[in-house]
Amino acid sequence: MIKLAISGCQGRMGARIAQLAFADRKFTVKTLLEHAENPKVHETINGIPIQTQPAGLKGCDVLIEFTTPEATLEHLKACVQFKVKMVIGTTGFTPAQVRQIKKASRKIPIVFSSNMSVGVNIVFKLAELAAQKAVKGYTVKMTEAHHIHKKDAPSGTAKTLAEIVEAASGIKVADIKSIREGEIVGDHSVSFESAEDVITISHHAKNRDIFAKGSLVAAKFLEKKKKGLFNMQDVLESNS
């Protein structure tokens, strides 16, 4: 049984992760974290009181984090202190903040991914293959669309996709179009265009369950890990 902590438990992602974790016999939800200024912070979820202090992580096995870079780094320090493993789905980090995560992974195991979806990580592999083959005569364009509440643009997933394409092809992804409309969960596409054809690889998220379920798979992956930095490709390969 994995003693699980969930940060941002009243947010869109955190609330759904909690619901799925309560229904999964592999987990016992031990700690629910939320920002002190959240209007629902005094409520309980399935009888568990919501906490606002990182000290509540003591005694947990894994923390799943989909919040802000600032909150994530605050909890990262507590996880190192209390030897709690982390699944980080937060995006929008600066290079300096990413270095802090990498440094912490020398002491605790961390799954750090811009997208926890199994489907999106399949797209990452397909884009890598296409980029390796479509080197000469192709230009690359990307589009990503999310709900109006998403703060970072381009999305972390789009940045990762661009990095994968650039590393595989040497082609610079100069154009990433970001759209913020309504309640779009997440759409991503990458196109390779030549004078003769267009190759398009895309992913459409119907709901947030793909990310929530992926984060729980990542938490299970960490169960026997002692330290190190991992991504969802590592998680998926271990379950293949």
* Nearest residue to 116 (alpha-carbon basis) of 217, 228, 227, 15: 217
Torsion of CA 237, 19, 179, 118, to 10 degrees: 10
For the four alpha carbons of 182, 188, 190 and 196, in that order, the dihedral sign comes to: negative
Residues 6+ apart with CB under 8 A from 61: 2, 3, 4, 84, 85, 223
Q: Is 146 a catalytic residue?
A: yes
31, 5 contact by CB (below 8 A): yes
**Which residue of the set 85, 146, 159, 188 is catalytic?**
146
Active site residue 227: no
The Cα-based distances of 110 to 11, 63, 92, 94, 215 in angstroms read: 22, 10, 17, 18, 12
Pick the catalytic residue from 83, 107, 150, 225: 150
CA 79 to chain centre: 17
Closest CA to 168 of 131, 222, 117, 203: 131
Catalytic residue annotation: 146, 150
